[in-house]
Structure 1
Amino acid sequence: MRLSNFILNFLLTASLTAQTTLGDFQSIESRDSKHIQMKTAEGYLRIEICTPDMVRFRTSWNGNFEPNESYMVTKYDWEEINWDLKESTDVLELNTSHLTIEVTKNPVQITIKDQSGKVLSKDVNFGNYITNKQVGTQKELFADEHFFGFGERMDFLDRRGKITNLSVGRGEGLPHIVGAYNVLEANYSPVPFFMSTRGYGIFFHTSFETSWDMGHTANDVYRFEAKGGELDYYFIYGPDFPSILNHYTSLTGKSPLLPKSALGLHVGTYSGGTWGYEEMTSDQYPIKLVKKFRALNIPIDILHLDSTWRIFGKNGGSGATTFEWRETFENPEAMFDSLYAQDLSMVGVHVRPRFDNGNKLDLLDKARLAGFVYPEPNNSGEFVNFFNEEAVNWWWENGAKRLADAGAMFFKTDEGSAFGRKANESDKTGPQGEEIKRLHNLFPLAYAKAPYEKFENYNNQRGMNHTREGYAGIQRYPFIFAGDWPSEWQYFEPVIKAGLNIGLSGVSNWAHCMGGFEHVADPELYIRWTQFGLLSPIAHLFGMEHPNYKEPWNYGEEALAIFKKYDELRYRLNPYLYSAMYQNHINGSPLMRALVLDYQNDNNVYTITDQYLLGNDLMVCPVTTKGAQTRVVYFPEGNWINFWTKEKYEGKQYVNILCPLDEMPIFIKEGAIIATQPLEQTLGVKTPTTINLDIYANANGKFALYDDDGKSLKYQQENFSLTTFSLSTNSNSVVLAITSERNNYKLKNRKYNIKIHSLKEPKSIIIDGKPTDNFTFKNEVLNLLFFPNKKDSSIVINN
């Protein structure tokens, strides 16, 4: 039985007597146009005004503030804004145009309000504290408050009432089902950031392990603390979740655009072998694999060769990288040539962050001699010192570039959690000590950054890196995948949760091993999981079970047909998905969106972990129960149309929906404009000359169609085209306005096949002021062909 709040708060307050708080206000020590710093009886509080919506709070007990770092936060130099300070006997009051920050003096505590006077956040139990180098703060938990974010968590969506520890890694111990496969402990990409339904977010700017008690101990108090470092956090006002994500990703970095081909199918391969079957690998297997995809007309763009492409070294075994090809790969350069000749867009290889000695290359010995491994006692270090630019350059020139010269265009950077923590593939734990506590969570960022930037420069095109681990800021070096989860039904929905949570934490370009990674999936699970995977942000097919892996023809004719159906759907949806990727680049909105992101005031969506929006307007509902013939779908506010049957459903209700094996429930929001293109077997860099627009009338809507060359960095100089389609409907007419907002990337011979659903038979159609009869109408669907010949156009359908 939970203790009363009175007793709990008494205990919390009593525990703080062994800790040092800020105490009472003494004086304003410094102030300029961007900050104010005050001295207290026990320490110093520094408030930095970043924007009208974002304020940084830093606390020091010794008067020293740590230098700014560049791994998590990319922007510190904010433009000056207008704010004012008022001081009374009891309170200091800072006002921006959106926030009021009150600092009580005796003791020092922080309360933050919006401009209507609503309290958003309030310190309790003396607020900030330090004890034995552990820093933290306590805040009031309001009755209607719920929390979302915290990175790639597989356990819960709403964190209210939960205790969460954030440190990069996974479960440990045997058996795996309660060790490595423990969804409660999975922490591949933790992010010390959350959003509150009260209208704000907090980013705890620390690389140390953190703990978050979000109302578990007392239901009216939450607290967060770090095992070292400075108490440094950003308060971010929305009040809506998309605005909070936009601010957070402005702080920690927007995700760059990936190559357009990254939205195609990714396939990983062990090249004919896997653990224990390494001698069966060959440089011919990947070529034959892609030939089979092509022969079956299954669209594919990206391939990566996993661990067994390389020999395992003399020191680190399978857990390190020699950069030497296995003997069974007789001609890697010819292999890459053959793969690219089959129209693959990019081919990459798997690496790990530790050097090893091979048969010909003694990179570990040489790196130790040159000082380019992270220091360990007796010069025993193995980890590349990715925190050192010279070490990164040496790693590239002496190891990584050998693979790039052969034809690799990206890396899959694995085992980023092994720095200072036991690795999966060996007993190696890497460097230890106090400094490693600060660096452990940053290592995955430095590790992913190195090949992302090196390959981008070497290939002279947009970078792409495929990594498993991350931390705050990993969205800058995309993409990440969810880790090695077995092909069992019990792990299917937790993987979906991981995608929802990481999307709520600023990371959009996310993938998983569809069908599961380890164990042979039963065909039904394979079908259901790949349906979800092919409508995930990144579609990644990869498994390790020899000899069937996760190739669709190994799961029967039905599985093959359904896989191909959804893969083709994905390729047709590319204009819609690519435009959503651009929006993520601009404002941080993820492709895979938990319903709470758009409906944060609807309590019904707070625990929904098996539905999501893909982009703004497609609601995807994976089937996660074996043998299910129906599944319950919750429809948020608005009207929704069944993608398969076109049946309409009103929002704010639950409905039991049929889900035959070949139909994962998908719904389209009324007012949506869904852009598709004719089917291609590879996305490459082709810009479609025909775009199909399915428009769902009876509600207003908007869609911005993004086009560029799909490959270069010219988009950063605004060399792209952005065409906005705005839908307005009323009882008498439907109006579609088309506006070219950007036109630096020239579209040649573009035409639009427009299909408007749910219409009465039109009395007239007027295009750019001129009537037309060049259309067809049948079963409440209007079809017309539109050729844009001016910057701004309009189509008016009169009912």
Structure 2
Amino acid sequence: MFQLNHVNMYEQEHQTVKINTIKGNLWLTALTPEIIHIQDDAAHATNSYAVEGNKQEVVPLTVAVQDGKVEITTPKLRIEIDQDGYLDIFNEHDQVVLADYRGQREKTVVQFSEEQQELLKAEGHVVVKQSTASKLEVVKVLNTNDHFYGLGDKTGFLDKRGYTYDNWNTDEPNQGEEVTKLYKSIPFLIGTNGITTYGLFFDNSFASHFDLGKESTKYFYYTVAGGGLDYYFMLGSNVADVVTNYTYLTGRTPLPQKWALGYHQSRYSYKTEQDVYQVTQKLRELQLPCDTVHLDIDYMDGYRVFTVDKNRFPDMKRLLADLKTNHFKVVTIIDPGVKKDDQYHIYCEGVKAQLFATNPDRSVYTNSVWPGVSVYPDFGQAKTRQWWACNQKFLTDLGVSGVWNDMNEPASFNGPIPDETVFFDENQPTTIQKMHNLYGHNMARATYAGFKKQTGNRPFVITRAAYAGTQKYSTVWTGDNRSSWAALQMMIPQLCNLGLSGFSFAGTDIGGFLGDTNPELLTRWIEAGIFSPLLRNHSCAGTRMQEPWQFGEPTLAIYRKYLQLRYQLIDYLYDLFAQGESDGLPIMRPLVTHYGTDPEVLNLNDEFLVGSDLLVAPVVAPGVTKRMVYLPEGSWYDYWTGYSYAGQAYYLVDAPLDQLPLFVKDGAIIPLRPVTEYIDVQAENMITFKLWGEQGTYHHYQDNGADFAYQNGEYNLYEIKMTANNDAIRLMHHGYQPVYRQINLQRGDLVISFYFDATVQTYKTK
């Protein structure tokens, strides 16, 4: 124990340092040389839903007192904490990465009086009140060149500087730029200025607020309505490094079943068995590649979860078996609201076992959602999660391949759930204020556990609401978007920021959910979204049907062209998912991920990377047949023509209605599979690797595409090397039978075929 003057002191136990300041105790724990956990007393003993397991590595740590400050040093960074509790962080080059702001906040945003607000509302204006989430705040210095990314799928542009955002999971269909909160709360922020890059993850599930330079150009701040100070600082040399550190902490998107990367067709709703037969038959008849059909709430009996309407679907098990023979999977929606019905076994079981949220007097809390008067499973309790997981058996016994969790913010039709409503934080009763943002997370966690246990396969779960770390259990989509060009434009920054926030498996509703799409919009949407990991066309009841054949030609032909492109490149996407289990990097990435020192990409909203080798520059406005494309450092090739471009320059490229501007980085090798109408892993016996440029190396992953056997070594890893003098294929790891019988290596129009020789376990040309 060391005394600083007559106020401060610190204690060190292994890699944790407790510092006493005028403001109270701060606890700093070095988890890795680049990740520091910072807490106050109120947060120090709390449970994290985002960070699971022990993330602490052995870190050489020194603590010293210098000029009235405690200095904590790891091999990668140094932290200074003064007597007033201010905290500054430096990198190994002694550059300030992040500093606490010492001044007073400037209340520069003028608020309307209550009377003015009522008058504005009467005139039809939407009045947005400033967040009141202010139990505690963290204020950091804002530098001139700082840019911000992350925060999940908030609306607006890629760079979040100058905007405010709230974390309170909300069913908000009006997803304009000014909307501050949506379905997910991911309080993770990446800051970069081209010299230093860092991440901040505030692991507090209460309602919180970020102001990223709107109030003042001198600082940015975070406030939260409850709980304690609990955040992680993570250093990185670039954006990609920070994402790797963040996903090390909160978990990485697991390798999905391969079929899940195919095309998904959905509608609210395919209401009958005949509807489902018709849509699947049409998909095959028109040779539109597709693996999955989704069933919305109308398949249920009165919207009761874990039931089927026998009038509309008289034999659901037979239907799903028939679809399976035609290589279709079925994903069914499930909402958390359980109908209050004394004749309904799910409700009765939950009441008896005390599995539902309650009022303060311990009576079961009710609100209204789709089934009418409903109750809410309390997913914060382990016993509720286990019960919910077991109930998935109703679906898996029918042959359902995945679950789509909706309305799990949780949504409520009869006003917000009151603040005092009792939910459990594991074994401790608390209120909705703490558990609201965790609700969808814990529902997805339970669903994942049920499907994993009952099928043995990698669960396919989609969730609308989420918290940090939900990526370990579930795919996500951006919710009820609109059939508008503005929504299409917003798709790119939304999915890119979701990816930077750990959610590699994400998508939007292709064509838009609310409102009527049109042929041009749907065409540009399938082009822009064809590389989104979750590729689903979904639309709302009462809107125009938007299956691709509804619009005739040329929409149908163009739609088919891009579905075929998707299926050709499935193995590239699958390889990125396999690599993502190691580095946490998303499939769909903003250019700033890899080119953070290039000022042209810091807020580039209409281009993105797929991995590091494909650059996509879709058209996202009507009537456009040419567009400007920025290509970053290096040389790039037009995917369609092979034409070469020098990087760090803008080009005006042709983009007629059927053309997606797509570029490949020099030296890239891209795997191409034969075009099929569905994914059939057992039939995969040939693949082509195409080189762009003169030479390159590529690592390709292969497994059974379904279960967890790969975690025990049942996978193949191929190294493809193509140089000016020699092309070679090396089977680096052979734990999965079968292997490809034929591998083609392609340069331009030249194709050389290699065949597997089982006797020597290698590939040879004939």
Q: TM-score range by the shorter chain?
A: 0.7 to 0.9
Structure 1 runs (4+) deviating above 6 angstroms are 790-795
Deviation at 1:499, TM superposition (A): 0.6
- The Cα offsets for residues 666-708 of structure 1, whole Å up to 9 and x where unpaired, read as 111111110011122211333622111110124x644221101
Q: Retained in 1: the 8 A contact 2:23–2:85?
A: no
Q: Retained in 1: the 8 A contact 2:389–2:448?
A: no
Larger displacement relative to structure 2 (436-445 or 487-496): 487-496
Matches of 2:6 and 2:238, distance apart in 1: 34
- Is 1:86 matched with 2:76? no
Alignment of 1:12-51 (within 5 A): 26-51=7-32
Q: 2:746 aligns with which of 722, 741, 755?
A: 755
Deviation at 1:738, TM superposition (A): 4.2
- Is 1:432 matched with 2:419? yes
Matches of 2:345 and 2:56, distance apart in 1: 47
> In structure 2, the residue corresponding to 1:405 is in which secondary structure?
helix
Deviation at 1:45, TM superposition (A): 0.9
Q: Retained in 2: the 8 A contact 1:531–1:566?
A: yes
Alignment of 1:769-780 (within 5 A): none
Equivalent residue number for residue 705 of structure 1: 700
Alpha carbons of structure 1 residues 24 and 653: separation in structure 2 relative to 1, 3 Å: farther
Deviation at 1:572, TM superposition (A): 1.0
- The Cα offsets for residues 556-606 of structure 1, whole Å up to 9 and x where unpaired, read as 121111111111111111111110111122211100011111111111111
Alignment of 1:480-519 (within 5 A): 480-519=476-515
Deviation at 1:221, TM superposition (A): 1.6
Matches of 1:234 and 1:734, distance apart in 2: 49
Matches of 2:70 and 2:177, distance apart in 1: 47
Equivalent residue number for residue 786 of structure 1: 754
Q: How many residues align?
A: 712
Alignment of 1:593-612 (within 5 A): 593-612=589-608
Matches of 2:204 and 2:726, distance apart in 1: 50
Matches of 2:485 and 2:522, distance apart in 1: 10
Matches of 2:47 and 2:387, distance apart in 1: 23
Matches of 1:614 and 1:91, distance apart in 2: 45
Q: 1:53 aligns with which of 18, 34, 49?
A: 34
- Is 1:451 matched with 2:442? no
Q: Cα RMSD (Å) of the superposition?
A: 2.6
- The Cα offsets for residues 516-559 of structure 1, whole Å up to 9 and x where unpaired, read as 11222111101111122222111111112458532111011211
Alignment of 1:169-184 (within 5 A): 169-171=170-172, 179=174, 184=179
Matches of 1:634 and 1:231, distance apart in 2: 41
Matches of 1:234 and 1:791, distance apart in 2: 47
- Is 1:110 matched with 2:87? yes
Alpha carbons of structure 1 residues 380 and 98: separation in structure 2 relative to 1, 3 Å: closer
Q: Which residue identity is paired with 1:600?
A: G
Q: Retained in 1: the 8 A contact 2:337–2:377?
A: yes
Alignment of 1:415-426 (within 5 A): 415-418=407-410, 423=412, 426=413
Q: Retained in 1: the 8 A contact 2:716–2:739?
A: no
Q: Retained in 2: the 8 A contact 1:500–1:609?
A: no
Q: Retained in 2: the 8 A contact 1:53–1:236?
A: yes
Equivalent residue number for residue 286 of structure 2: 296
When normalised by structure 2's length, the TM-score is 0.88
- The Cα offsets for residues 362-385 of structure 1, whole Å up to 9 and x where unpaired, read as 533442233111123532340111
Deviation at 1:41, TM superposition (A): 2.7
Deviation at 1:68, TM superposition (A): 4.2
Matches of 1:793 and 1:369, distance apart in 2: 63
Larger displacement relative to structure 2 (705-714 or 607-616): 607-616
> In structure 1, the residue corresponding to 2:503 is in which secondary structure?
coil
Matches of 2:315 and 2:628, distance apart in 1: 53
Q: Which residue identity is paired with 1:301?
A: D
> In structure 2, the residue corresponding to 1:430 is in which secondary structure?
coil
Q: Retained in 1: the 8 A contact 2:168–2:185?
A: yes
Q: Which residue identity is paired with 1:209?
A: A
Deviation at 1:435, TM superposition (A): 2.3
Deviation at 1:429, TM superposition (A): 3.2
- Is 1:592 matched with 2:588? yes
Q: 2:98 aligns with which of 121, 138, 141?
A: 121
Larger displacement relative to structure 2 (592-601 or 95-104): 95-104
- The Cα offsets for residues 245-304 of structure 1, whole Å up to 9 and x where unpaired, read as 1110111011111101111111124454xxxxxxxx322221222122112221111222
Equivalent residue number for residue 339 of structure 2: 356
Matches of 1:132 and 1:244, distance apart in 2: 27
Alpha carbons of structure 1 residues 461 and 122: separation in structure 2 relative to 1, 3 Å: same
Matches of 2:693 and 2:73, distance apart in 1: 44
Q: Retained in 2: the 8 A contact 1:617–1:669?
A: yes
> In structure 1, the residue corresponding to 2:50 is in which secondary structure?
coil
Q: Retained in 2: the 8 A contact 1:137–1:225?
A: yes
Matches of 1:270 and 1:82, distance apart in 2: 56
Q: Which residue identity is paired with 1:754?
A: L
Q: Retained in 2: the 8 A contact 1:634–1:652?
A: yes
Deviation at 1:79, TM superposition (A): 2.5
> In structure 1, the residue corresponding to 2:86 is in which secondary structure?
strand
Deviation at 1:502, TM superposition (A): 0.5
Q: Retained in 1: the 8 A contact 2:406–2:464?
A: yes
Equivalent residue number for residue 313 of structure 2: 329
Q: Which residue identity is paired with 2:90?
A: K
Q: Retained in 1: the 8 A contact 2:268–2:540?
A: yes
> In structure 1, the residue corresponding to 2:344 is in which secondary structure?
coil
Equivalent residue number for residue 343 of structure 1: 327
Q: Which runs of 5+ in 2 are unaligned?
A: 106-131, 367-374, 421-429
Equivalent residue number for residue 383 of structure 1: 376
Q: Retained in 2: the 8 A contact 1:164–1:211?
A: yes
Matches of 2:310 and 2:538, distance apart in 1: 21
> In structure 2, the residue corresponding to 1:440 is in which secondary structure?
helix
Equivalent residue number for residue 135 of structure 2: 134
Matches of 1:137 and 1:358, distance apart in 2: 47
Equivalent residue number for residue 527 of structure 2: 531
Deviation at 1:485, TM superposition (A): 1.3
Matches of 1:677 and 1:669, distance apart in 2: 20
Q: Retained in 2: the 8 A contact 1:687–1:707?
A: no
- Is 1:743 matched with 2:741? no
Matches of 2:618 and 2:6, distance apart in 1: 55
Q: Retained in 2: the 8 A contact 1:48–1:55?
A: yes
Q: Retained in 1: the 8 A contact 2:496–2:589?
A: yes
Equivalent residue number for residue 397 of structure 2: 405
Q: Retained in 2: the 8 A contact 1:154–1:184?
A: yes
Equivalent residue number for residue 691 of structure 1: 687
- Is 1:542 matched with 2:538? yes
Identity of aligned residues (%): 28
Matches of 1:69 and 1:687, distance apart in 2: 46
Equivalent residue number for residue 371 of structure 1: 354
Q: Retained in 2: the 8 A contact 1:410–1:451?
A: no
Q: 2:555 aligns with which of 559, 566, 577?
A: 559
Q: Which residue identity is paired with 2:350?
A: A
Q: Retained in 1: the 8 A contact 2:165–2:180?
A: no
Equivalent residue number for residue 187 of structure 2: 192
Alpha carbons of structure 1 residues 792 and 337: separation in structure 2 relative to 1, 3 Å: closer
Alpha carbons of structure 1 residues 122 and 563: separation in structure 2 relative to 1, 3 Å: same
Q: Which residue identity is paired with 2:241?
A: S
Alpha carbons of structure 1 residues 108 and 127: separation in structure 2 relative to 1, 3 Å: farther
Matches of 2:581 and 2:6, distance apart in 1: 43
Matches of 1:365 and 1:25, distance apart in 2: 62
> In structure 2, the residue corresponding to 1:564 is in which secondary structure?
helix
Matches of 1:564 and 1:121, distance apart in 2: 49
Equivalent residue number for residue 95 of structure 1: 73
Q: Retained in 2: the 8 A contact 1:268–1:541?
A: yes
Deviation at 1:190, TM superposition (A): 3.0
Matches of 1:187 and 1:114, distance apart in 2: 34
